[in-house]
Chains A and B, each alone.
Chain A
Amino acid sequence: MLDLILQTCVNALYASSYTALMAVGLVLIFGVMGIINFAHGELLMVGAYVVFFLYATFGWPFPLAVAGSIVIVALIGVLMERALFKPMRGNPLGGLIMSVGALFILQVATVDIAGLGLAKNIPPAYDGSVALFGIETLTLPRQRLIVMVAATAGLVLLWLFLTRTKLGWALRACAQDPEAAALQGISLDRTALIAMVIGAAFAGGAGALLAPIVQVTPYMGHAYVVTAFIVIIVGGVGSLEGAVVASVIFTFFDTFVTTFIDGSTAAILGLLLMLVVLVVKPTGLFGSAEKA
């Protein structure tokens, strides 16, 4: 039984790593631009497909394919920001519609380019499992370990960027209060672009890392974005730290219920958890009351 509990903790930690990547990106985009990016799951999907082509089809080394994927998805992010979101400054609903439009286009383009049949299969780049903490029964597949390590590294880098650099500081200022930031002479166009690049890169990176592990289909993004939505609500309004902590809490809850009851119950209870958090602490775990 202890084995099972420990293994479930490991499973949950792994799941929280990529969930946090998605949630943090969404919060960042929302914080700076005020836009809920509905196409965020599709950015993850594109990331996975780029790995399918570069790594599984053209035989690039996996790390290089992931890097390629991050670059391509970040570029899509730049394109979305400049062509779709920038004209919608001060019109968050317009931005929402733009992201819905982008969602449709990305899905259809993927179906056209890569076909729609069985999910794409991408062989793992790293075989086998590692035993954790010297416990033989407690294992994590190497490929998943890579996801965890890379995701954690990405989040730490982001944190350093936000707290140690001037640009990062400007970004946080914008996320907290765009108007005040503008008064301080911070260019919203520039911070919005950076937020979008980081958000897209994180989503693309998550998709790229997950590609050998999950089912890669043109419609895969939906499940991830829904989880990320719940997580950012639980985490609290506009809080990056909250998004990370909530990812851990939510995935632990979901993984334990999945293991000890069943998956379809976990889906309902996860949503109820979110509603309960709202009743008990309306601003989420880390949210401030003013920001909305």
Chain B
Amino acid sequence: MSKIRKGMKRRQFLGTAASAAAFTAPYVKRGHAAETVRIGFNAPVTGDVAAWGLPGLYGCEIWAEKLNAAGGINVGGTTYNVELVSYDNEYLSDKALTGAKQLVLEDGVKIVLQLGGTDALATAEFMTKNKMLSSTLVPSDLSPETTYLVAPCEVHPLYNSTGVEWLARNKPELKTVAMVTQDDTIGRPSVALYRAAFEVTGMELVHDSFFDLATTDFAPIMTAMLASKPDVLCFDTAYPDFINLLNEQAFLQGYEGTIISCTLDNYPVIMEKTSAAFLEGHIFQFPDFDDQALNQPQINFKNANDFYAEYTARYPGSWNAVSWEYAAILELWKTAAEKAGSVEPDPVLEAMKAGGKGDHAFGPASWWGEELFGINNALVGAWPVVQMQNGKATIVEYGDIPTWWEKAKDATIKHFEELGEMWYQRT
């Protein structure tokens, strides 16, 4: 177990002087903030899944420091400082459950942030039993029993439908698709959704396969994809690093058509490896975090640009999607706590879900999921469709997921069932 002070200890202790000065300031005690509320972080910080935990912990630390420096959080007339307590679950079920017990029963945290998949599934029953609010970045962890588990940030894979819809509307001449992704808890629901999305737009899948998580060379995979002569390549929700390498292979093997994928993280580097012309028109779902558009009022992530700048200055080389996603959940939690006038899990959860509406990082959204996850605990709203235009990620529209759902419901459930991804199919 380690408290947020750990962040300070960790770096200063090792004498990383550059960041030391920036660090100490937020820890100066403000006279009036007497109370402390603890937040649990239960995700992999070491081991080969750490890339989806540690950068998130960094993000939460920055979020907490900024909040405390600004005077903390005001709940029902009391001002609280937030204190982050982390447990490295190594992405193992037993450690995740032990961590949950420690955070909830011993440290008295009021919300537990988790990566999702192994850790959230292992702790779900415990969280429900102890009425502890917890979060996951993988909405397919949800099921009717997980009443205290919310997926308020990423509505993966649902938002991927918006890109496919945009493509079908704007480029109706494209008819065939070749698709690959890794075979895991992220890849499988994503494939099910893309299958459904292509089906309702009348596009045909001419290649559709999974690759192993330990894949190091993507040349054979791309060779197989291109052998099917597709109009569109779909890289699905392959991990950003994989998408990188797949793009590079497509370029090297002479592909010139359209590409659609969930992410295109770090695209300037991909451009360096391929070409601006190659990436032009590429469709994906995540805007740049230093995009000025994210400073607009409907965006519920305060000072996104500053956060990004601070983060990359302090932890160079460690930015990825989860860097802000855990923090975005905390932002949502803070708003709900202020509204509820309490930091206790029950009232916060109630306030969070009040009226079935919530404030997603990308704007107003609804609590949804009954038909797909068996429970309305995923926050679904508009999601940006992003296209590479003139070498820059540009938001081309905000896709409407609920409307798409009405049209594609049956197809989506069918494909989820085919892959055994519906909650009632779990063994």
Contact = CB atoms under 8 A, between A and B. Distances in A.
A259 B221 CA distance: 6
Interface stretch (B33-41, B100-108, B205-213): B205-213
B241 A215 contact: yes
B241 A119 contact: yes
Residues of A in contact with B, size category: 35 or more
Interface string B105-143: 000000000000000000000000000000000000000
A4 B227 contact: yes
B224 interface: yes
A137 to B, nearest CB: 9
Contacts of A263: 183, 209-212, 215, 220-221
Contacts of B245: 213-215
Contact of B214 (A119, A222, A260): A222
A134 B261 CA distance: 34
A223 B252 CA distance: 23
A111 B266 contact: no
Interface in B202-250: 209-212, 214-217, 219-221, 223-224, 227, 240-242, 244-245, 248
A258 interface: yes
Contact of A129 (B210, B244, B252, B318): B252
B55 A223 contact: no
A211 to B, nearest CB: 12
A121 interface: yes
B355 interface: no
A112 B265 CA distance: 22
B24 interface: no
A269 to B, nearest CB: 11
Residues of B in contact with A, size category: 35 or more
Nearest to A123: B272
B210 A264 contact: yes
Given A116-B50, A117-B55, A117-B323, A215 B242 contact: yes
A115 B318 contact: yes
Given A116-B318, A123-B273, A141-B252, A255 B241 contact: no
Given A121-B266, A263-B210, A264-B183, A15 B217 contact: yes
A115 B315 contact: yes
Contact of A255 (B50, B220, B266, B272): B220
A119 B214 CA distance: 14
Given A117-B319, A141-B252, A262-B211, A222 B48 contact: yes
A121 B72 CA distance: 38
A117 B254 contact: no
Given A123-B272, A214-B245, A263-B210, A118 B223 contact: no
Q: Which of the listed residues A212, A259, A260 has the most CB atoms from chain B within 10 Å of its own CB?
A: A259
Q: Which of the listed residues A119, A222, A260 has the most CB atoms from chain B within 10 Å of its own CB?
A: A119
A259 B216 contact: no
B19 to A, nearest CB: 12
Q: Give the 7 A-B CB pairs with smallest separation, nearest first.
A: A263-B211, A115-B317, A121-B269, A117-B318, A262-B209, A115-B318, A219-B48
18 contacts: A7-B223, A108-B46, A111-B50, A114-B317, A116-B55, A117-B317, A118-B319, A119-B240, A119-B241, A139-B254, A213-B217, A214-B217, A215-B241, A215-B245, A222-B214, A223-B215, A264-B183, A267-B212
Interface of A: 4, 7-8, 11-12, 14-15, 108, 111-112, 114-121, 123-124, 129, 139, 141, 144, 212-215, 217, 219-220, 222-224, 226-227, 255, 258-260, 262-264, 266-267
Given A116-B51, A262-B210, 8 more contacts: A15-B219, A117-B315, A214-B245, A258-B211, A258-B221, A263-B211, A263-B221, A266-B212
